[in-house]
Amino acid sequence: MKLRDNLAANLKRIRREREMSQDDFAALVDVHRTYINHLEHSKRSPTIDVIERIAGNLGITATDLLEEPPSKPPQL
């Protein structure tokens, strides 16, 4: 997986785990909702500054956003 794909998967997972809409998430990190949508669909590559701002506002590290996302448990 590319780093951009890792970021996309991790952003979406973290946002959903925190039960936030894209609008709420965008307001938290001070970007437009469409930018969050583009990040979550690997259509945009954020700057280091944006990655740091997202991580800081979420209370996580930039590494947490860029690392390989956890694999999904098998469906029963």
Distance in angstroms (rounded) separating the CA atoms of residues 59 and 15 = 13
Return the ∠ at Cα 63 (arms to 60 and 67), rounded to 5°.
Answer: 115
CATH numeric code, 3-64: 1.10.260.40
Q: What is the pLDDT of residue 73?
A: 66
Q: What is the pLDDT of residue 70?
A: 87
Which parts of the chain have pLDDT scores under 70?
Answer: 73-76
Q: What is the pLDDT of residue 63?
A: 96
Domain regions of the chain by residue span: 3-64
Q: What is the pLDDT of residue 14?
A: 96
Q: What is the pLDDT of residue 76?
A: 67
